[in-house]
């Protein structure tokens, strides 16, 4: 019960962060500076000049389009610096 309440609080805070974070330009496209992992919802701030993210849950995804890697671990939208279509700012925190 308490765990469920804490979980809800954490989610609310994460949501506030991804909704209000600054945008930055990554490889020519505007993109929120913070994304939630599409698998576990952990927040990841973009720091390096690479769009490929590797979450601690082992999920790999593209920071710009939020496309998950395929089952072989390959990113689906090209090289680490290839331009792809930015996904809109996330409005919910994915998964658990
Ligand atoms: Zn994750
Ligand atoms: Zn992409």
**pLDDT value of residue 42:** 95
Gap from CA of 6 to ligand 2 centroid (Å): 32
Other beta carbons within 10 angstroms of residue 49's beta carbon come to 9
**pLDDT value of residue 48:** 85
User: Which residues place a Cβ less than 5 A from the ion ligand 2?
Assistant: 62, 64-65, 77, 84
pLDDT, one tens digit per residue, over 31-83 is 999 999 999 999 999 998 899 999 999 999 999 999 999 999 999 999 999 99
Gap from CA of 82 to ligand 1 centroid (Å): 22
* Domain locations along the chain: 1-90
**Cα angle 43-29-35, degrees, rounded to a multiple of 5:** 5
Gap from CA of 62 to ligand 2 centroid (Å): 5
Closest ligand to residue 66's CA: 2
| Statement: residue 96 has pLDDT above 70 | no
pTM: 0.90
CB 67 within 8 A of CB 61: yes
Gap from CA of 3 to ligand 2 centroid (Å): 34
């Amino acid at each position: 019960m308490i765990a469920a309440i804490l979980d809800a609080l954490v989610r609310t805070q994460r949501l506030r962060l991804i909704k209000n974070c600054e945008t930055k330009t990554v490889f020519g496209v505007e993109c929120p500076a913070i994304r939630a992992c599409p698998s576990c919802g952990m927040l990841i701030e973009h720091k390096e000049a690479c769009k490929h993210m590797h979450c601690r849950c082992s999920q790999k995804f593209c920071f710009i389009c939020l496309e998950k890697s395929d089952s072989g671990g390959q990113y689906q939208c090209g090289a680490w610096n290839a331009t792809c279509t930015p996904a809109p700012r996330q409005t919910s925190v994915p998964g658990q």
